[in-house]
């Protein structure tokens, strides 16, 4: 089968050599400073071309990290943002961002923020259009009530291309149980903010058709398993042992304000409740291929108050947990955590509790010089996914791909992939001085039952080296 790569965009990712002391990290992991001098950053999202977009909550600027450097010109500056609220720490301002999964052909960035027009203040969901700058703005949902606290506002695209939006109770707890109100809900939207007809409450009297789940207090973490679309949410409780990690099926009611933590009634109980207050502030599903295999399919949760990142091992069906344990004790405060297209774990941090982060760090796994290939993104046929390759700076990279009904694959005498029909070999680009190349490519369409194998050849002055094999999802056409 001939693999058709529709578009390849390479980006070198330069990372500072400034390393942090490795206290608390498991063996083999390295903590590195990427950029500093951020201004109260609250959240971030990964562009398909390898750039990192960071939301400065109070200033209203969307900053861009490209090639390991913080660009001077923001992608967009919301001059009408209200971030200086009476109660700080995420309770207003620039709060959530998510790229359209097909950003390479549809350059849309979705943003949730608190707006002030000199007379009143409210929350809104908007869409920015543009690859290098948000040249145009489209308002999708306007005049969402602004509470003094509990805006939430995190965004995440599902594996099916629908947009999840979490809205806190906006300081009106009773509305979290009102199916016709937006407060205390997770919304599921088409890209034009309309309600998909397969939403759980679509067409029901008294229900807002955009609602996917209800009973939310204040959430700053959403994560999706890209293989099956399962949604997870981290929930801020009300002091004490009430911070939650939730598996969120369609139509779930997480119970607030009727109960915090396990309800054991008609509500959907959390799959985990922390034994002390951590203020979860970010959630990431690890779908990279650079960390050791036991980390694949884990969740990483940021604990704002403790400056800690937790590792969550999920059960086989993803609906429960095997264990929750500290992964890294950073200290200070952590505001968000994301998986990069290079397979590393990125997080926003500050040395003390503040209105936002002033630094971006990444945790990578030291492979001892072996090149790596990581595959991240939503695996819908025709959508764009991201390949991250690490190796010696200056190396050229080629992608080898092949399909087969057999597993495991065979190898040629030179160690290259050779399964089923002849492999395709496509140049991807050159690894930069930061040791990383990020490439965005369309998902090929496979025949029913066919397995897609991917491997990278990294060629430096010392010769060629191969990454481990990756397996793309199986599609039935």
- Last residue of some domain: 339, 365, 391? 365
> Does 422 score more than 80 pLDDT?
no
- The pLDDT value recorded for residue 13 is 29
> Does 121 score more than 50 pLDDT?
yes
**Residue 330 resides in a domain:** yes
Measured between alpha carbons, how far is 413 from 398 in angstroms, rounded to an integer?
18
* Residues 220 and 266 both lie in one domain: yes
**Residue 4 resides in a domain:** no
- The pLDDT value recorded for residue 445 is 55
Which residue's structure tokens are 């003390």?
352
Q: How many Å is the Cα radius of gyration of the chain?
A: 22
> Does 2 score more than 60 pLDDT?
no
* Residues 443 and 360 both lie in one domain: no
Q: CATH number of the domain at 432, please.
A: 2.60.40.10
Select from 166, 55, 68 the least CA-distant residue to 109: 55
* Residues 345 and 411 both lie in one domain: no
* Residues 105 and 177 both lie in one domain: yes
Q: Mind listing the pLDDT tens digit for each residue in 201-248?
A: 999 999 999 999 999 999 999 999 988 899 999 999 988 899 999 999
**Residue 116 resides in a domain:** yes
Q: Cis (ω within 30 of 0) for the bond into 26? A: no
Measured between alpha carbons, how far is 160 from 435 in angstroms, rounded to an integer?
32
- Last residue of some domain: 365, 396, 420? 365
**Residue 477 resides in a domain:** no
- The pLDDT value recorded for residue 339 is 96
Q: Mind listing the pLDDT tens digit for each residue in 127-168?
A: 999 999 888 999 999 999 988 889 999 999 999 999 999 999
* Residues 282 and 404 both lie in one domain: no
* Residues 22 and 152 both lie in one domain: yes
**Residue 11 resides in a domain:** no
Of 57-71, 131-145, 375-389, minimum mean pLDDT range: 375-389
- The pLDDT value recorded for residue 380 is 63
> Per residue, what are the HEC states of the chain?
CCCCCCCCEEEECCCCCCECCCCCCCCCEEEEEEEEEEEEEEEEEECCCCCEEEEECCCCEEEEEECCEECCCCCEECCCECCCCCCCCCCCCEEEEEECCCCCCCCEEEEEEEEECCCCEEEEEEEEECCCCCCEEEEEEEEEECCCCCCEEEEEECCCCCEEEEECCCCCHHHHHCCCCCCCEEEEECCCCCCCCCCCCCCCCCCCCCEEEECCCCEEEEEECCCCCCEEEEECCCCCCCCEEEEECCCCECCCCCCCCCCCCCCCCCCEECCCCCCEEEEEECCCCCCCHHHCCCEEEEECCCCEEEEEEECCCCCCEEEEEEEEECCCEEEEEEECCCCCEEEEEECCCCCCEEEEEEEEECCCCCCEEEEEECCCCCCEEEEEEECCCCCEEEEEEEEECCCCCCECCCCCECCCCCCEEEEEEECCCCCEEEEEEECCCCCCCCEEEEEEEEEECCEEEECCCEEECCCCC
* Residues 421 and 328 both lie in one domain: no
- The pLDDT value recorded for residue 381 is 59
> Does 428 score more than 80 pLDDT?
yes
> Order of strands across the sheet with 152-157?
152-157, 163-167, 185-189, 211-214
pLDDT mean over 90-112: 90
* Residues 62 and 193 both lie in one domain: yes
> Does 4 score more than 70 pLDDT?
no
pTM of the model: 0.89
**Residue 9 resides in a domain:** no
Q: CATH number of the domain at 209, please.
A: 2.120.10.30
Provide CB contacts within 8 A for 295, sequence distance 6+: 286, 311
Higher pLDDT, 348 or 133: 348
- Last residue of some domain: 365, 387, 406? 365
> 127 and 140 in contact (C-beta within 8 Å)?
yes
Provide CB contacts within 8 A for 97, sequence distance 6+: 43, 44, 45, 53, 55, 62, 109, 110, 111, 112, 155
pLDDT mean over 408-425: 58
> 80 and 124 in contact (C-beta within 8 Å)?
no
- The pLDDT value recorded for residue 408 is 57
Number of domains the chain is built from: 2
* Residues 292 and 230 both lie in one domain: yes
Question: Buried b vs exposed e over 372-402: b needs ≥16 C-beta within 10 Å?
Answer: bbbbbbbbbeebbbbbbbbbeeebbbbbbbb
**Residue 25 resides in a domain:** yes
> 343 and 290 in contact (C-beta within 8 Å)?
yes
Provide CB contacts within 8 A for 426, sequence distance 6+: 5, 8, 398, 399, 401
Q: Which residues are registered as beta bridge partners of 193?
A: none
* Residues 55 and 76 both lie in one domain: yes
* Residues 377 and 359 both lie in one domain: no
**Residue 12 resides in a domain:** no
- The pLDDT value recorded for residue 5 is 28
pLDDT mean over 445-468: 79
* Residues 70 and 189 both lie in one domain: yes
**460: containing domain:** 372-472
Q: pLDDT-derived band of residue 50, with 50, 70 and 90 as boundaries?
A: confident
* pLDDT > 90 fraction of the chain, expressed in percent and rounded: 64
* pLDDT > 70 fraction of the chain, expressed in percent and rounded: 85
Select from 456, 64, 99, 414 the least CA-distant residue to 290: 456
Q: pLDDT-derived band of residue 43, with 50, 70 and 90 as boundaries?
A: very high
């Amino acid at each position: 089968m001939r693999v058709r790569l529709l578009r390849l965009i390479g980006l070198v990712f330069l990372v500072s050599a400034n390393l942090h002391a490795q206290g608390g990290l498991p063996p083999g992991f390295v903590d590195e400073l990427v950029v500093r001098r951020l201004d109260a950053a609250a959240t971030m999202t990964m562009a398909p071309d390898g750039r990192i977009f960071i939301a400065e909550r109070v200033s209203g600027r969307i900053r861009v990290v490209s090639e390991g450097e913080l660009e001077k010109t923001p992608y967009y500056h919301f001059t009408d943002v209200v971030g200086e609220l009476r109660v700080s720490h995420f309770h207003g301002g620039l709060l959530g961002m998510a790229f359209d999964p097909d950003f390479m052909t549809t350059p849309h960035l979705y943003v949730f923020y608190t707006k002030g027009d000199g007379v009143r203040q409210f929350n809104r969901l908007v869409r920015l259009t543009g690859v290098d700058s948000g040249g145009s703005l489209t308002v999708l949902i306007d005049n969402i009530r602004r509470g003094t606290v509990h805006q939430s506002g995190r965004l995440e695209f599902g594996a099916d291309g629908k947009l999840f939006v979490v809205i806190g109770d906006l300081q009106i707890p009773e509305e979290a149980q009102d199916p016709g109100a937006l407060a205390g809900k997770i919304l599921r939207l088409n890209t034009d903010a309309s309600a998909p007809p397969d939403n759980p409450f679509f067409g029901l009297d008294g229900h807002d058709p955009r609602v996917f789940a209800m009973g939310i207090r204040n959430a700053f973490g959403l994560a999706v398993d890209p293989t099956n679309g399962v949604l997870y949410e981290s929930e801020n409780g009300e002091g004490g042992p009430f911070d939650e990690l939730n598996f969120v099926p369609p139509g779930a009611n997480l119970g607030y304000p009727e109960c915090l933590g396990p309800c054991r009634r008609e509500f959907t109980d959390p799959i985990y409740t922390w034994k002390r207050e951590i203020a979860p502030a970010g959630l990431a599903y690890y779908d990279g291929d650079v960390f050791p295999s036991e980390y694949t399919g884990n969740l990483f949760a940021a604990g704002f108050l403790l400056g800690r990142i937790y590792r969550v091992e999920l059960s086989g069906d993803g609906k429960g947990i095997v264990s929750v344990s500290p992964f890294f004790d950073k200290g200070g405060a952590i505001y968000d955590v994301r998986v990069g297209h290079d397979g590393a774990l990125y997080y926003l941090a500050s040395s003390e509790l503040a209105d936002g982060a002033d630094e971006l760090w990444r945790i990578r796994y030291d492979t001892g010089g072996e090149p790596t290939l990581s595959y991240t993104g939503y695996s819908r046929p025709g959508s764009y996914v991201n390949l991250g390759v690490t190796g010696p700076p200056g190396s050229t990279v080629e992608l080898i791909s092949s399909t087969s009904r057999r597993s495991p694959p065979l190898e040629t005498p030179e160690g290259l992939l050779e399964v089923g029909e002849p492999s395709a070999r496509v140049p991807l680009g050159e690894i930069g001085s930061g040791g990383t190349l990020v490439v965005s490519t369309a998902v090929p369409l496979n025949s029913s039952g066919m397995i897609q194998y991917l491997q990278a050849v990294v060629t430096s002055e010392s010769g060629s080296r191969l990454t481990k094999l990756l397996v793309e999802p199986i599609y039935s056409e």
